[in-house]
Chains A and B, each alone.
Chain A
Amino acid sequence: MSVLTDLKELIRRRAVVGHFVSTTLKTGHRDKVLGNLWQLIDPLSFMLVYYVVWSIILGRRGPEFMLYLLSGIIVFRLFQDSVLGASGVLRSQVRLIREVYFPKAALPTAVAIARLNDFAWALAALIMLEVFFLHRQAHLTPEALAKIHHPLAFGWSILWLPLVVLALFLFSLGVSFMSAIAGVFFRDTPNILGFVFRLWFYLSPIFYYPEDVRRLSTKVWFFYRINPFSHFFRLLRASLIYDKPPGLDGMLYICIISVAALVIGFVIFSKCEGTAIKQL
């Protein structure tokens, strides 16, 4: 019952969430020379590092691979940055928490929304890059085009994008609720999360293709199938850069996973928040 009360309170006080979001965004890049430009530069520079390694040093992929990389990176970063940010948010706002009453769930929620905002900027960077590559691809000779493994395309499948992003956001939010509580009870949380994210990052198809995984072993393939990020990446890429219809089973899978993560995360948060505040 108290979980529902907490949920209602959070919805009633959504203006507070809004203020926390704008605070996070305002203070994030204030007083930097490049300011909010960093929201574009960050994901792009991240992508360039991997592109340099995979395409230039190892010489295996064409320039279109940039889009494949970037689309994976921005998805994973939304999740990782929300969860990591949430793990410290109750601790960092301890003074405010001790001073006034407000629904504490607003804090991890605001972290996730602020990171969703970053995601939107990164998405804009991706689309700019895509426009450039589509233009380039249009002027290729048929022979050159045939050589491209995964030709880019843009079309009606983009309509699936909002649903994929919504599921991704809810999944990140749900896990953020859990990490916010874990961060209070265990000071080791950021260390553990750092390890988990590094492993998860390499186990997810960010800079390799699903067919590469399939060749490896059935065990790895099984993990690939249950890893929600395989599906998030595949669906986002299908709708955004390949214009393919998304598989409905994959879509159903991420929707169920996301709603489950959100419900479990919020229940844990609501049940533990009272004890957590006293631990701060």
Chain B
Amino acid sequence: MIQDPGFDLKDVWLKYRVRYHRPRSLRAVVATSTLGTIRSGIGSLLDRRASSRVRQEAFWALRGITFSAGPGEVVGIVGSNGAGKSTLLQVMARIMKPDRGTAVVRGTIGTLLSFGAGFNPDLTGRENVFLNGAILGLTQAEIKDRLDAIVDLADIGDFFDAPAGTYSSGMRARLGFAVAVHIDPDVLLIDEVVQVGDVFFQRKAGTLLDQFRGQRKVVALVTHSPSIVQRYCTRAVWMERGQIRRDGAAADVLAEYLAWSEERAQAARPHAKAAMS
């Protein structure tokens, strides 16, 4: 790759369609018997107003995200639950196309978005490694070359040849991480996974993140752990409600985000007390 790895997001908007199943009235809530279900089923066929009980609405998960990153950057993405962090990673990973705006990613992408959940539970770890490697764009021979390193990093012992359905969540995450790292991507996207493994694994993962930075690759990781941002990230992006609230040096953004969170916690406290009494 002649071009430097990195990504450019320009005014990215993305919407989901959310289906709301709202109870229409108290009677509808009570009518949960089989008879009630049948009646409301027929009712929704006959009465168009009744069927509007299930409404579809657009929910904008990303609202005008513009940001780019280049080689050597490790970007930590922080923010409240539901701020759009994971959706943002999925747009970077080309899994979702933006509804408006453009998202350009240069270089091969490695993703670790959901604790190795993409593993097929019926296949063994080994078979899953070959499947995932192929999906990520490696040839059979390339995967074979890296197999030892993957086994070593995942460190799950004999379970490597057992069906992935029998793994603990930590084992799945470790194998997933090992695969994602060893496809040697230019851009690595990580979603709250590094925290899953035990302390020993976290150390290994951390060393790898440092290596990536040294090799002038691009890493974006979503995390709720301030220490990870502090320790590994060169830059941090704080997101709220689908927008970027702050983007800058990791320490500064983190400090602001933590202060804001603390403030919200303080503000919430009287309500909690009122609810208790």
B111→A100 contact, CB < 8 A: yes
A19→B96 contact, CB < 8 A: no
Nearest B residue to A273 via CB reads: B97
Chain B residues with CB under 8 A of A141: none
Distance in angstroms from A262 CB to nearest chain B CB is 24
Query: Complex formed: what's the CA distance from A100 to B122 in Å?
Result: 19
Query: Complex formed: what's the CA distance from A274 to B97 in Å?
Result: 7
Q: Any chain A CB within 8 A of the CB of B39?
A: no
Chain A residues with CB under 8 A of B93: 100-101
Distance in angstroms from A106 CB to nearest chain B CB is 9
Nearest B residue to A274 via CB reads: B97
B134→A101 contact, CB < 8 A: no
- The winner among B96, B109, B130, B139 for most chain A CB atoms within 10 A is B96
Distance in angstroms from B86 CB to nearest chain A CB is 9
Interface members, chain B 76-108 (any A CB < 8 Å): 90, 93-97
Contact of B95 among A16, A23, A30, A101 (CB under 8 A): A101
B130→A99 contact, CB < 8 A: no
Contact of B117 among A13, A15, A18, A99 (CB under 8 A): A99
Query: Complex formed: what's the CA distance from A163 to B52 in Å?
Result: 50
Interface members, chain B 243-274 (any A CB < 8 Å): none
A98→B113 contact, CB < 8 A: yes
Q: Any chain A CB within 8 A of the CB of B114?
A: yes
Interface members, chain A 67-116 (any B CB < 8 Å): 95-102
> Chain A interface mostly helix, strand, loop or mixed?
helix
Q: Any chain A CB within 8 A of the CB of B159?
A: no
Distance in angstroms from B177 CB to nearest chain A CB is 12
Chain B residues with CB under 8 A of A101: 93-95, 109, 111
Q: Which residues of B contact A (CB under 8 A)?
A: 15-17, 90, 93-97, 109, 111-114, 117-118, 120, 122-123, 127, 130-132, 134-137, 139
Distance in angstroms from A76 CB to nearest chain B CB is 27
Query: Complex formed: what's the CA distance from A145 to B267 in Å?
Result: 95
Chain B residues with CB under 8 A of A98: 90, 95, 113-114, 117-118
Chain A residues with CB under 8 A of B131: 19-20, 23
Q: Any chain B CB within 8 A of the CB of A214?
A: no
Nearest B residue to A102 via CB reads: B135
B132→A100 contact, CB < 8 A: yes
A15 with B134: in contact, given A96-B118, A99-B118 (CB under 8 Å)? yes
Distance in angstroms from B164 CB to nearest chain A CB is 11
A15→B139 contact, CB < 8 A: yes
Query: Complex formed: what's the CA distance from A99 to B93 in Å?
Result: 9
How many chain A residues touch B (CB < 8 A): the figure is 22
9 contacts between A and B (CB under 8 A): A19-B134, A27-B120, A27-B122, A95-B117, A99-B114, A100-B136, A101-B93, A277-B96, A278-B17
Nearest A residue to B139 via CB reads: A15
Q: Any chain B CB within 8 A of the CB of A150?
A: no
Nearest A residue to B130 via CB reads: A19
Query: Complex formed: what's the CA distance from A212 to B90 in Å?
Result: 57
Chain A residues with CB under 8 A of B16: 278
Contact of A26 among B109, B117, B123, B135 (CB under 8 A): B123
Nearest B residue to A103 via CB reads: B135
- The winner among A15, A30, A274 for most chain B CB atoms within 10 A is A15
Q: Any chain B CB within 8 A of the CB of A217?
A: no
Distance in angstroms from A181 CB to nearest chain B CB is 15
B134→A97 contact, CB < 8 A: no
Chain B residues with CB under 8 A of A15: 134, 139
Distance in angstroms from B125 CB to nearest chain A CB is 14
Chain A residues with CB under 8 A of B118: 95-96, 98-100
Distance in angstroms from A40 CB to nearest chain B CB is 22
A30→B122 contact, CB < 8 A: yes
Distance in angstroms from B2 CB to nearest chain A CB is 20
Q: Any chain B CB within 8 A of the CB of A218?
A: no
Interface members, chain A 156-189 (any B CB < 8 Å): none
Distance in angstroms from A19 CB to nearest chain B CB is 4
B96→A278 contact, CB < 8 A: yes
Q: Any chain B CB within 8 A of the CB of A191?
A: no
Chain B residues with CB under 8 A of A16: 134-135
B135→A96 contact, CB < 8 A: yes
Chain B residues with CB under 8 A of A26: 122-123, 127
Contact of A100 among B17, B123, B135, B139 (CB under 8 A): B135
Query: Complex formed: what's the CA distance from A277 to B98 in Å?
Result: 12
Distance in angstroms from B20 CB to nearest chain A CB is 14
Shortest beta-carbon contacts, A-B, top 6: A99-B118, A96-B118, A27-B122, A101-B94, A95-B117, A19-B134
Query: Complex formed: what's the CA distance from A95 to B176 in Å?
Result: 13
Contact of B17 among A95, A96, A279 (CB under 8 A): A279
Query: Complex formed: what's the CA distance from A20 to B132 in Å?
Result: 10
Query: Complex formed: what's the CA distance from A274 to B95 in Å?
Result: 9
Nearest B residue to A18 via CB reads: B134
Nearest A residue to B97 via CB reads: A274
